[in-house]
Structure 1
Amino acid sequence: MMIVIDNLLTKGEVAQFRQSLAPDGWADGAASAGTRSIAVKQNLQLGRDNPVAKDFGNRILGKLGRHPLFVSASLAEKIWPPVFNCYRDGGHYGTHSDAALMRLPEAGLTIRSDLSATLFLSEPDEYEGGELVVEEQFGAQQVKLAAGSMVLYPSSSLHQVAPVTRGERICAITWIQSAVADTTARSLLFDLDQSIQSLTAGRAKDDADVDRLIHVYHNLLRRWAQV
């Protein structure tokens, strides 16, 4: 299941972050790659101790925690601090899969990566190439969103970032441990929750059919959740 969250950040918030970036703040992204991924990863990243990255990362986490579509789609239990990266001059990240378990010793944090997220911080016309390509059940999907928009996709999927042949592609990426680990179960819960929200808008507050659907939703969540 791939979910697009449009306008998580405003254009003003994106511009503020971009203006705060120091040109010399970027470091080789290979330092955070796994033993196999390092051979296919060519990009730049901001260090986790970078003050701009810390501040803006916390702002993104706050936005995610309050966004109804993100909450419904992810059922997030833990979220990895956002990582900021930059692709330019042919930078790319070849086909790879994300690590199943991710550890952040300084924060005492370990998460199981159920969902991956890419938040675009460059407009599509600022660069050529740089598509996020996610291999799904029915073929590869290419994603290139407006600045401020985010895509969620299963961490279990193979994916890549196509080479950037002009300009700069700046993004924030993060990983989510969901309360519901199973992708199919989480997708069913998302569809049911979205239907409940749509039906609730046009019904009385004590509508018995809506109450019954909410009852089913929470009992399925109770069955599948791992907390």
Structure 2
Amino acid sequence: MLIQIADVLSPDELDEIRATLAAAPFEDGRATAGWSARLVKDNEQVREDSATLRLLRERIAAAIRRNPVFEAAVRPKALTPLLVSRYGVGRSYGSHVDNPLMGELRTDVSFTLFLAEPEQYEGGELVIESPAGEEAYKLPAGHLVAYPTTALHRVDPVTAGERLVAVGWAQSWIRDAARREILFDLEAAKRDLFEREGKSAAFDLLAKSAANLVRMWAE
């Protein structure tokens, strides 16, 4: 399932993060790419050994994990350490698939959290490929797009300004993307029914079925 999530970061959080980034040390982003992705990756990332990156990871990961839509859609068991990336003019990331394993985690869901407003740069769209075609994403700052890590994707060249993003990966309690989508739909239905009827017999049956599916599918 591919999903866009609005307002993962508040305006105040964005201001603090961007102020921190203004003084952050950056390095060549190819250092964290796989052997084939390294050939098409052309960006910069906040330096892996910097205290700045540790601080940014804590702030951003906490905001992501407390977002109820992210929790319902992704069902994260664990997140990888986030990367904070910068794309200046002419920089891009060619078509690639993300590593299936990162550290001790299996990567089920990839996500990009946009930190620059779309009008602050030209180009730089995240393009996700599928058998149905390509979809391009360039979301407002503070918004996030999450998608199955199985997908080929790329970042188109930036032609003006500067693209800033935080990217990461989740191992989900629910490995299969189709099952995650079923559980997400059931969660939405549960909440809608509860708002209309309260804790009714129908709500209890729906909640029971959703919980039991999690028990069947979780790993």
TM-score, normalization: structure 1? 0.93
CA contact (8 A) 2:89 2:159 kept: yes
Among candidates 151, 159, 169, match of residue 157 of structure 1? 151
One-letter amino acid of the counterpart of residue 222, structure 1: R
Matched, 1:124 2:124: no
C-alpha RMSD over aligned residues? 1.2
CA distance in structure 2 between the partners assigned to 1:67 and 1:19 by the alignment: 23
Query: Which letter maps to 1:201?
Result: E
Q: Distance in 2 between matches of 1:122 and 1:7?
A: 13
Match of 1:217 in 2: 210
Could you tell me how far 1:137 is from its partner in structure 2? Answer: 4.2
CA contact (8 A) 2:24 2:52 kept: no
Give the 3-state SS of the residue equivalent to 2:196 in structure 1: coil
Cα contact 2:24–2:46 (8 A) shared by 1: no
> Which of 143, 162, 167 is the aligned partner of 2:161?
167
Tell me the equivalent position of 2:54: 54
Q: Equivalences for 1:55-204 in 2 at 5 Å?
A: 55-103=55-103, 110-204=104-198
SS across alignment from 1:199: helix
Deviation at 1:204, TM superposition (A): 2.5
What secondary structure, in the 3-state scheme, does the structure 2 residue paired with 1:21 have? helix
Quickly say closer, same or farther: Cα 1:208–1:22, change in 2 above 3 A.
same
* SS in structure 1 at match of 2:90: coil
| Mapped partners of 1:120, 1:209: distance in 2 | 39
Q: Secondary structure at the match of 1:173?
A: strand
Distance 1:181 1:81 in 2: 19
Aligned equivalents of 2:195 and 2:131: distance in 1?
33
Moved over 6 A (4+): none
Structure 1 SS opposite 2:167: strand
**Number of residue-to-residue matches in the alignment:** 219
Q: 1:56: Cα distance to partner? A: 2.0
Task: State the distance in 1 between where 2:19 and 2:40 align.
Answer: 30
Judge conservation of contact 1:116–1:174 (CA < 8 Å) in 2. Answer: yes
CA contact (8 A) 1:58 1:81 kept: no
Tell me the SS of whatever aligns to 1:93: strand
Specify the code of the residue in structure 2 equivalent to 1:59.
R
Q: CA shift at 1:61, angstroms?
A: 1.6
Q: Contact 1:113 / 1:175 at 8 angstroms: preserved in 2?
A: yes
1:96 maps to a residue whose letter is H
Is the partner of 1:84 in helix, strand or coil?
A: strand
Distance in 2 separating the partners of 1:19 and 1:64: 19
Aligned-residue identity in percent = 40
Q: Distance in 1 between matches of 2:82 and 2:184?
A: 24
- 1:26 paired with 2:20, answer no
Give the residue type in structure 2 aligned to 1:223.
Answer: M
Q: What is the DSSP-based 3-state SS (H/G/I as helix, E as strand, rest coil) of the residue aligned with 1:133?
A: strand
Q: Tell me how far apart the structure 2 counterparts of residues 13 and 147 of structure 1 sit (CA, whole Å).
A: 11
Aligned partner of residue 134 in structure 1, secondary structure: strand
